[in-house]
Amino acid sequence: MGNRYLQADLNTFSVKRVYGVTVLTSIFSDGEMSSKDGIVLSATSVDRQFGSILNGLHISSCKVGYLPNLDLITAVEQACRNQSVGPVVLDPILFDETGSPILDDTAFSKYVTDLIPLANVITPTIEEAEKIVGFEITSDDDVIHAANELRGIGVQNVLIKGSNEHQGRDNIRDYVLLEDGDDFWLTDKHAPFPQPSGKDDALSACITAELANGQKTENAIRTAKEFITDATRNVLQVGDSIESINFWS
Ligand SMILES: Nc1ncnc2c1ncn2[C@@H]1O[C@H](COP(=O)(O)OP(=O)(O)OP(=O)(O)O)[C@@H](O)[C@H]1O
Ligand SMILES: Cc1ncc(COP(=O)(O)O)c(N)n1
């Protein structure tokens, strides 16, 4: 977890009146996933963290983010499969900030085969969806095809996040394919630069929080997107250097 990513999750949970607890997989500075200076925790540590939060807490839903190696994927997969963690929202982090893949082939294969099918909702970017389904996405039809392929892997609900690179300058459109086969696009005006950080984590964290609050998946996704829209329009200037989405919009 970079120093701001985890906080974006917890700030979102708090605003949504959900009590958040965490299992840390790693520690690194913002934007330094690719550096060798970060710390990747052991599977044993992750097991113990799960043990401690599951001892006495009822977990209503669970967000899974950065998992940089096979051992951590296996540890989290086992916990999600064997423990009572509620619906799983999987936010794949498959590339570091330089665009290099994070997982080696064995770990990636495990991720796709064993972790993705456990997800109630998966929220890849277009690049992450391309990596998982194994073909390039250059059109709306490709996005829809990729979402169906992800459903084919076993994930129940898919949200593929838009990208202005693929969709033009004005709008950004996320595509949603639900378990029952219903699908829709969530369209938003592309917010002007500079972009506040935290949108990625807040989107999946908000879906997770809404599921914990008992919302149906479609409502959880729609509410989360509205939350991102509002939070992106009202940039929060924290000190001199941090431009964050505004969780309290
Ligand atoms: N420029 C933008 N204007 C409005 N919404 C955006 C913009 N960029 C991304 N979003 C929305 O934010 C959500 C998260 O998308 P994504 O993970 O691609 O963002 P990101 O730019 O990587 O986020 P961040 O760097 O802030 O964590 C999606 O719902 C996406 O549509
Ligand atoms: C631990 C971690 N690393 C990277 C990102 C992606 O962030 P962004 O969407 O800003 O690239 C993230 N959400 N969490």
Local confidence pLDDT in tens for the 249 residues of the chain: 456 789 999 999 999 999 999 999 999 887 778 777 789 999 999 999 999 999 989 999 999 999 999 999 999 999 999 999 999 999 999 999 899 999 999 999 999 999 999 999 999 999 999 999 999 999 999 999 999 999 999 999 999 999 766 656 688 999 999 999 999 999 998 887 778 889 999 999 999 999 999 999 999 999 999 999 999 988 888 887 778 899 998
From ligand 1's centre to the CA of 198, what distance in Å? 8
pTM listed for this prediction: 0.96
Q: Is 249 inside a domain boundary?
A: no
pLDDT for 194: 73
Q: Residue 186 is part of which domain span?
A: 3-244
Q: Is there a domain that residue 31 lies in?
A: yes
Relative to the CA of 26, which ligand 2 atom is closest? 1
For residue 161, the ligand closest to its alpha carbon is 1
Helix (H) or strand (E) holding 39: strand 39-40
Residue nearest to atom 4 of ligand 2 (CA): 93
ipTM of the complex: 0.95
Please indicate, yes or no, if residue 25 is contained in any of the structural domains. Answer: yes
Residue 133's Cβ-count burial label (10 Å; 0-12, 13-18, 19+) is buried
Distances (CA, A) of 146 to 41, 166, 181, 239: 32, 15, 14, 41
Query: Which domain CATH number covers 127?
Result: 3.40.1190.20
- What pLDDT does 52 receive? 94
CA–CA separation, 137 and 139 (whole Å): 6
**Under a CB-based contact definition with an 8 Å cutoff, are residues 80 and 59 in contact?**
no
Asked if 3 and 69 touch (Cβ cutoff 8 Å), the reply is: no
* Chain centroid, CA 133 distance in Å: 17
Residue 224 lies in a domain: yes
Residue 200 lies in a domain: yes
Task: For residue 24, give the ligand nearest its CA.
Answer: 2
Specify the number of domains making up the chain.
1
**Interior angle at CA 1, CA 101 and CA 12, nearest 5:** 115
**Angle in degrees, 0-180, between the axes of helices 140-153 and 126-133, rounded to the nearest 10:** 60
Nearest ligand 1 atom, CA 172: 31
Q: Residues with Cβ within 6 A of ligand 2?
A: 1-2, 5, 33, 65-66, 93, 197, 200-201
> 93 CA to middle of ligand 2, Å?
6
Cis omega before residue 92 (within 30°)? no
Residue 29 is predicted with a pLDDT of: 83
**The predicted structure's pLDDT at residue 96:** 93
pLDDT for position 164: 62
Distance separating alpha carbons of residues 92 and 66, to the nearest angstrom: 7
Whose structure tokens read 């964290």?
205
Q: What is the pLDDT of residue 170?
A: 81
What's the pLDDT score for residue 32?
A: 79
> What is the structure's pLDDT at 2?
53
- Phi and psi of 91, rounded to 5°? -105, 95
**30 within domain boundaries:** yes
pLDDT at residue 167 in the model = 58
Q: Report which bound ligand comes closest to the CA of 27.
A: 2
